[in-house]
C-alpha cells in the first residue's frame, strides 16, 4: 500500500513539473541596435493565459504606443495552440547601452519572468519614408541643420557650428521641443552660445523653398587634433502640428500632433596641421591675431620695495589654450610666481580679449637692472604665416639700498691710499678705567660641567627613537606615495581652489589643472587629450578602472560647465573629487 501511494505521489509531482515546464514567457524586440530617432517594438509573449501582467519600467525609453494585447487560440490536428502577446512601442531618450528589465505574469498561481534584453542606442540614422501621412508630412516639413563656418580649419583655429531649425508654412510648432542627445565634441575645445530661449524667427530658404527658421544654438569649436574629426549630431524631440485625415463638420482638416525625433546629422571637419616652414623656436601654439606688450608700473624705486611687471597678450584667437612667455630677470631681483588674469569673451567669432601674467618683483640691492626684450610668436590663419612680436627693452633703477658684493667689488679702487691719523684717533680711550676684580668660579665639577658632560648621553635615546621613526617613515612606501600624491593634488588644484566661488572660472582652472597633470604624468600633448586615449593610457599604467572613470567624469563636468550653470554644491563636490582622483592616480600609476 505504501508503495502504491509513493508511486502515485511521484507521478503527480512529475506531471506538475511537466506542466510547469511547458509555460513559456519571453520578451522579443524588433531590433537590438537602433538610432536615437527610431522606434523599438517590444513583445511580451506567453503560450498560456496568465494574470496580473506587469511590464518593466522602461527606463531611458518613452512609451509612444501600447500596451496592445493580442490573443491567438487555434486547434490543429486535435492539438491546442495558444498565444497571448502584450506589445509596446518605445522611443529611446539617450544614447548608449540600455537594458529592458523583466516583465512578470502569473500562471496557475506561479510567477514567471522574462529575461532582460540589452539594447544599443546609437546616434541618429537616416529614416526612410514610411508613407504614414502625419509622420511623413512632419518629417518632410521640419529640418534641423548644422552649418559649419569652416570645414577645413587649421589646428586651434576657431570655427562655429550654427544649429538652425527650419519649419515650413504647412506645419507649426506650438509646444517647446526637448533636447535628447547633445554633441560631446570629444576632439575640440568647445563653448556653446545659447539664445536663452529668446528665439527670433527668420525667413529663409531650404532646398530652394520658403521656410521659417530659428537659430537654436551657436557653438564655438577649437580643434585639438589634426585630420578628419567628427562632430556628433544634435538630436531634438519636437511636437509638430500637422493636418490630419480627419475633418470637422465644415469639411476642414483637423490638426494632428506628431512627436518627431529630428537630428542635425553628423558633420566631418578636416583639420590641417600648422606649417613647419617658418615656425619660430619659441612658438607655443598660439593661433589668431594678437598684440603683445610688457609693461611695469614703475621703473625707479628703492630696495625691498615692489613693482608689478605685466606680460599682456590681447586680440582674437585661442587665448585660453596657450601660455604667455615667461620673464627672465637678474638673480638680484626677487620674482614671485605670476598671477594669471583672463578677460576673454567667447562670441560667434571665437575668443577675443586679453590674458595677463602679473609678476611681483622686489629688488634686494641698489643698482641698474636691464629687462631684456621678450618675444611672442603666433600663427595667423588669415595670412597663413607665423608672426613674432618683440617687446621693448627697459631698465629698473634701484636708487637706495645695500650694495651687493658683486657691485661692491666692481666699485672697489685697487690703488692704495695713505692712512692719515688725526689727534682725535684715541680721544675716547679712557685712561682711568676703575676696574674691579670679579670672583673666580671653578668650571671643573660645576653644574654646567656635569650638564655638558651628561647631556649628550641623555639625548642618545631620543636620537635612536628619531632614527627609528625616520627609517619607518622611509620604509612606508604607501604612506610616502600618499603624501606625495596629496601634495601633487594640492599643487595642481591650487588655482581651482582660489576660484571655487566662481563656477565658470573654477571649471576652467580645473580643466587646465587636469590637462597639466596628464601632461606631467603621461607625457602627452594637448592634441592627444581624447578621453578614450586618456582612459587607455591610464589603464595601461595600472590605474584602476573606477579611478579612470571618475577622472573622465571630471573632464566631462568641465565640458558641460561651459554651457550649463553649476551650483556651489556641485563645485565643492567636483573639487573634492578631483583631489581624491589625482591622489589615487598618483598612488596607482606605474
Where in the sequence is the domain holding 577, given as residue range(s)?
477-588
Residue 442 lies in a domain: no
Per-residue pLDDT at 130 exceeds 50: no
Closest C-alpha among 316, 325, 319, 224 to residue 281: 325
Q: Among 63, 88, 122, where does a domain finish?
A: 122
Q: Among 238, 271, 304, where does a domain finish?
A: 271
Residue 279 lies in a domain: no
Same domain, 52 and 104: yes
Q: Among 122, 150, 170, where does a domain finish?
A: 122
Same domain, 172 and 111: no
The percentage of the chain sitting over the pLDDT mark of 90, rounded to a whole number, equals: 26
Fill in the DSSP letter of residue 551: H
Pick from 111-115, 531-535, 560-564: least confident: 560-564
Region 209-213: mean pLDDT is 90
pLDDT-based confidence at 477, cuts 50/70/90? low
Per-residue pLDDT at 149 exceeds 90: yes
Label the pairing between strands 300-301 and 394-398: parallel
Cell of 14: 512529475
Same domain, 112 and 140: no
For residues 199 and 166, the answer to whether their CB atoms sit within 8 Å is: no
Residue 468 lies in a domain: no
Per-residue pLDDT at 484 exceeds 70: no
Same domain, 97 and 71: yes
pLDDT-based confidence at 100, cuts 50/70/90? very high
Per-residue pLDDT at 376 exceeds 70: yes
Same domain, 91 and 151: no
Per-residue pLDDT at 426 exceeds 50: no
Cβ neighbors of 576 (< 8 A, separation 6 or more) are none
**CATH code, domain with 294:** 2.60.40
Residue 250: CA atoms inside 13 Å, Cβ hemisphere, count?
A: 2
H helices present in 422-544, as ranges: 447-475, 477-492, 494-498, 503-522, 531-540
Same domain, 137 and 258: yes
Same domain, 299 and 237: no
Region 115-144: mean pLDDT is 76
pLDDT tens digits along 307-329: 999 999 999 999 999 989 988 88
Same domain, 137 and 254: yes
Residue 516 burial (10 A CB sphere; 0-12, 13-18, 19+): middle
Tell me, what's the pLDDT at 483?
61
Tell me, what's the pLDDT at 219?
92
pLDDT-based confidence at 414, cuts 50/70/90? very low
pLDDT-based confidence at 169, cuts 50/70/90? confident
Fill in the DSSP letter of residue 527: G
Per-residue pLDDT at 218 exceeds 50: yes
pLDDT-based confidence at 251, cuts 50/70/90? low
Residue 418 lies in a domain: no
Label the pairing between strands 51-54 and 96-100: unpaired
The listed range with the strongest mean pLDDT (14-18, 389-393, 454-458) is 389-393
Same domain, 27 and 116: yes
**CATH code, domain with 85:** 2.60.40.10
Fill in the DSSP letter of residue 317: E
For residues 426 and 320, the answer to whether their CB atoms sit within 8 Å is: no
Backbone angles phi, psi at 521, to 5 degrees: -90, -35
Phi-psi region of 285 (alpha: psi -120 to 50; beta: other; left: phi over 0): left
- Is 333 or 126 the better-scoring residue by pLDDT? 333
Residue 444 lies in a domain: no
Residue 581 lies in a domain: yes
Same domain, 172 and 267: yes
The percentage of the chain sitting over the pLDDT mark of 70, rounded to a whole number, equals: 80
CA distance 102 to 70: 20
Residue 84 lies in a domain: yes
Report how many domains make up the chain: 4
**Helix or strand holding residue 71 (H, E):** strand 61-76
**CATH code, domain with 497:** 1.20.120
Residue 538 lies in a domain: yes
Same domain, 249 and 141: yes
Amino acid at each position: 500500500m505504501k508503495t502504491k501511494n509513493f508511486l502515485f505521489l511521484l507521478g503527480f509531482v512529475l506531471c506538475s513539473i511537466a506542466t510547469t515546464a511547458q509555460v513559456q514567457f519571453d520578451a522579443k524586440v524588433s531590433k537590438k541596435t537602433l538610432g536615437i530617432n527610431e522606434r523599438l517594438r517590444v513583445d511580451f509573449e506567453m503560450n498560456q493565459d496568465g494574470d496580473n501582467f506587469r511590464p518593466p519600467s522602461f527606463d531611458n525609453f518613452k512609451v509612444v504606443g501600447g500596451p496592445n494585447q493580442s490573443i491567438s487560440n487555434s486547434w490543429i490536428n486535435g492539438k491546442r495552440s495558444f498565444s497571448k502577446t502584450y506589445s509596446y512601442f518605445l522611443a529611446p531618450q539617450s544614447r548608449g547601452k540600455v537594458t529592458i528589465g523583466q516583465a512578470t505574469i502569473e500562471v496557475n498561481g506561479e510567477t514567471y519572468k522574462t529575461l532582460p534584453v540589452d539594447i544599443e542606442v546609437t546616434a541618429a540614422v537616416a529614416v526612410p519614408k514610411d508613407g504614414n501621412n502625419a509622420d511623413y508630412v512632419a518629417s518632410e516639413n521640419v529640418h534641423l541643420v548644422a552649418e559649419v563656418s569652416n570645414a577645413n580649419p587649421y589646428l586651434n583655429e576657431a570655427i562655429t557650428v550654427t544649429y538652425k531649425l527650419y519649419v515650413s508654412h504647412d506645419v507649426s510648432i506650438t509646444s517647446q521641443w526637448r533636447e535628447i542627445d547633445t554633441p560631446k565634441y570629444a576632439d575640440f575645445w568647445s563653448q556653446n552660445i545659447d539664445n536663452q530661449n529668446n528665439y527670433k524667427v527668420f525667413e529663409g530658404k531650404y532646398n530652394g523653398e520658403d521656410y521659417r527658421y530659428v537659430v537654436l544654438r551657436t557653438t564655438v569649436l577649437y580643434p585639438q587634433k589634426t585630420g578628419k574629426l567628427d562632430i556628433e549630431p544634435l538630436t531634438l524631440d519636437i511636437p509638430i502640428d500637422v493636418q490630419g485625415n480627419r475633418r470637422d463638420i465644415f469639411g476642414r482638416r483637423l490638426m494632428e500632433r506628431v512627436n518627431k525625433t529630428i537630428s542635425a546629422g553628423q558633420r566631418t571637419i578636416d583639420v590641417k596641421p600648422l606649417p613647419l616652414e617658418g615656425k619660430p623656436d619659441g612658438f607655443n601654439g598660439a593661433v589668431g591675431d594678437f598684440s603683445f606688450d610688457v609693461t611695469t608700473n614703475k621703473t625707479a624705486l628703492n630696495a625691498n620695495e615692489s613693482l608689478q611687471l605685466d606680460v599682456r597678450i590681447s586680440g582674437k584667437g585661442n587665448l585660453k589654450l596657450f601660455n604667455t612667455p615667461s620673464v627672465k630677470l637678474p638673480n638680484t631681483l626677487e620674482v614671485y610666481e605670476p598671477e594669471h588674469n583672463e578677460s576673454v569673451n567667447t562670441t560667434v567669432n571665437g575668443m577675443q580679449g586679453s590674458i595677463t601674467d602679473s609678476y611681483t618683483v622686489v629688488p634686494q640691492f641698489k643698482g641698474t637692472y636691464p629687462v631684456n626684450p621678450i618675444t611672442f610668436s603666433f600663427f595667423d590663419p588669415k595670412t597663413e604665416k607665423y608672426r613674432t612680436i618683440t617687446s621693448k627693452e627697459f631698465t629698473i633703477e634701484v636708487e637706495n639700498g645695500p650694495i651687493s658684493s658683486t657691485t661692491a667689488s666692481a666699485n672697489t679702487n685697487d690703488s692704495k691710499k695713505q692712512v692719515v691719523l688725526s689727534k682725535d684717533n684715541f680721544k675716547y680711550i679712557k685712561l682711568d678705567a676703575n676696574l674691579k676684580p670679579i670672583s673666580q668660579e671653578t668650571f671643573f665639577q660645576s653644574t654646567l660641567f656635569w650638564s655638558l658632560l651628561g647631556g649628550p648621553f641623555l639625548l642618545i635615546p631620543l636620537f635612536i627613537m628619531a632614527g627609528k621613526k625616520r627609517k619607518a617613515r622611509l620604509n612606508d612606501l604607501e604612506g610616502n606615495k600618499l603624501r606625495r600624491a596629496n601634495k601633487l593634488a594640492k599643487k595642481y588644484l591650487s588655482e581651482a581652489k582660489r576660484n571655487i566661488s566662481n563656477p565658470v572660472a573654477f571649471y576652467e582652472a580645473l580643466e587646465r589643472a587636469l590637462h597639466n597633470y596628464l601632461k606631467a604624468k603621461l607625457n602627452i600633448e594637448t592634441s592627444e587629450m581624447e578621453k578614450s586615449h586618456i582612459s587607455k593610457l591610464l589603464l595601461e599604467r595600472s590605474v584602476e578602472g573606477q579611478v579612470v572613470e571618475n577622472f573622465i567624469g571630471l573632464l566631462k563636468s568641465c565640458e558641460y560647465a561651459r554651457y550649463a550653470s553649476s551650483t556651489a554644491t556641485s563645485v565643492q563636490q567636483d573639487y573634492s573629487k578631483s583631489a581624491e582622483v589625482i591622489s589615487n592616480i598618483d598612488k596607482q600609476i606605474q
